[in-house]
Amino acid sequence: MKFFVIAGEPSGDNLGGPLMDGLKRLDPAAEFLGVGGPAMAGEGLESLFPMEELSVMGIVEVLPKYRQLKARISQTALAVAEARPDVLITIDSPDFCLRVAREARALMPDLRTIHYVAPSVWAWRSGRAQKMAKVIDHVLAILPFEPPYMQAAGMSCDFVGHPIATAPLADKAQGAAFREAHGIAPDAPLILCLPGSRRGEVSRLGPRFDEALMQLRDRVPEIRVVIPTVRGVAGLVHDMTRRWPTAPIVVENADERRAAFAAADLALAASGTVSLDLAANDVPMVIGYDVAPLSRALIGLLLKTDTVTLVNLVSESRVVPEFLGRKCQPGPMSKALYDLIENPKARAAQHDAMTLTMERLGRGGEAPGMRAARSVMAAMGAERRAG
């Protein structure tokens, strides 16, 4: 079969690589065209153009690069129509991918389309599913409660597992080695500070997280703080933490980041998928998040759930404390961290919820890439029979 596969950012490329590997296992004669990064290139994809052109196009950056983005959408859609693949598979990045699907289907009305990663319509903007259903036939979902939302909008959908279920983790020995390398006593409470991976998040949340941890240190003087960060915001994190009264340990190397998660006792983290990284490592957490005032007001009107923390949602519990919007203040977050240190029952409740979360996301089962590949092939078989 011929697959046209599109990823628009690194997270999508990391899903696309294992998916392509799975498709090759099921169909050794599989042919791939499309747009992707190094993971997909490693499986044989020659990208139509550098994926990095798309991954830098965030909300703020889009306007000055609108013409370039629009040209890439049209170029990609035309390439799809010229290749006449058996199926177009788009991965996340809906602003780019779904526009390509729309234009490609206009050129090739019988084109089969599959999208990998469902939009979070369970949280807000439910109309996105109906809009997507106009150009997408089948969805590969990474959260177990998502298929009914997609099916209600008229698309078929399979839960294929979350990549965190098979992500590499550091073991206890590596965690102990991390503590030793950084002079952290084995019994010292080690707290991860995770203020986000975007500059705006770090600028907004960093000072509040710092103050929360300073207040906690007044009550538990022996705590040590580690900030695992990523290259894009590492400079900002270093600049910000130079002003902190007690400098934290900042790590950005991937292996050290994994070791820090293995060494940690608890975490103060921004809302997002990092809660699943913490769950995978069985690290109890407190979640905090805020946005600009206008965005906060809009999200408040549109939000459909009483929690945004994925551990709470997947485990169907509410054991992870979260402080969102105006509630994202140092005092309450510091108190919640202190309660986790002092309350074994609260830590045990989180442990149970995190264990259940990882089971429901696919830990111990077939790798998500292979499950996704099987779903693609099954969907194509069903569509061919229907045709």
Retrieve residue 184's tokens. 């952290």
Residue 17: inside a domain: yes
How far apart, in whole angstroms, are the C-alpha atoms of residue 37 and residue 47? Answer: 7
Q: Which residues pair with 270 in a beta bridge?
A: 288
Same domain for 293 and 375, yes or no, is no
Same domain for 231 and 154, yes or no, is no
| pLDDT value, residue 123 | 65
Same domain for 290 and 310, yes or no, is yes
Same domain for 149 and 298, yes or no, is no
- Domain encompassing residue 248: 172-360
Q: Report helix, strand or coil for 373.
A: helix
Cβ pair 379, 137 in contact under 8 A: yes
Retrieve residue 354's tokens. 């995190």
Same domain for 321 and 180, yes or no, is yes
What is the C-alpha radius of gyration for the chain, rounded to an integer number of angstroms?
22
The domain tally of the chain equals: 2
- Model-wide pTM > 0.85: yes
Retrieve residue 221's tokens. 């003087």
Q: Report helix, strand or coil for 64.
A: helix
| pLDDT value, residue 57 | 41
Same domain for 260 and 354, yes or no, is yes
List pLDDT tens digits, range 57-83. Answer: 444 445 567 788 889 999 999 999 999
Residue 10: inside a domain: yes
Same domain for 351 and 371, yes or no, is no
Confidence of residue 244 (pLDDT cuts 50, 70, 90): confident
Same domain for 12 and 110, yes or no, is yes
Q: Report helix, strand or coil for 288.
A: strand
Residue 166: inside a domain: no
List pLDDT tens digits, range 341-362. Answer: 999 999 999 999 999 999 999 9
Which residues, including other chains, have CB under 8 Å from residue 207's CB and lie 6 or more apart? 240
| pLDDT value, residue 12 | 92
| pLDDT value, residue 240 | 82
Same domain for 194 and 100, yes or no, is no
DSSP code of 92? S
How far apart, in whole angstroms, are the C-alpha atoms of residue 92 and residue 67? Answer: 21
Cβ pair 137, 113 in contact under 8 A: yes
List pLDDT tens digits, range 303-346. Answer: 768 888 999 999 999 999 999 999 999 999 999 999 999 999 99
Residue 297 has pLDDT above 80, yes or no: no
Amino acid in the structure at residue 292: A
Q: Which residues pair with 3 in a beta bridge?
A: 32, 87
How far apart, in whole angstroms, are the C-alpha atoms of residue 110 and residue 124? Answer: 31
Same domain for 305 and 289, yes or no, is yes
Which residues, including other chains, have CB under 8 Å from residue 384's CB and lie 6 or more apart? none
How far apart, in whole angstroms, are the C-alpha atoms of residue 2 and residue 305? Answer: 40
How far apart, in whole angstroms, are the C-alpha atoms of residue 252 and residue 234? Answer: 7
Burial class, 32, CB count within 10 angstroms (exposed 0-12 / middle 13-18 / buried 19+) = buried
Residue 139: inside a domain: yes
Residue 127 has pLDDT above 90, yes or no: no
CA neighbor of 61 nearest in space, from 95, 91, 35, 38: 95
| pLDDT value, residue 301 | 59
What integer best gives the mean pLDDT of the chain?
Answer: 91
- Residue 73 CA to chain centroid, in angstroms? 24
How far apart, in whole angstroms, are the C-alpha atoms of residue 188 and residue 193? Answer: 15
How far apart, in whole angstroms, are the C-alpha atoms of residue 170 and residue 260? Answer: 8
Backbone angles phi, psi at 281, to 5 degrees: -100, 5
Same domain for 93 and 106, yes or no, is yes
Retrieve residue 267's tokens. 């975490």
| pLDDT value, residue 198 | 81
| pLDDT value, residue 60 | 43
DSSP string over 20-41: HHHHHHH-TT-EEEEE--HHHH
Q: Which residues pair with 192 in a beta bridge?
A: 226, 267
Same domain for 6 and 155, yes or no, is yes
Residue 99: inside a domain: yes
CATH code at position 52: 3.40.50.2000
Residue 346: inside a domain: yes
Residue 272: inside a domain: yes
Retrieve residue 52's tokens. 């990095």
Residue 134: inside a domain: yes
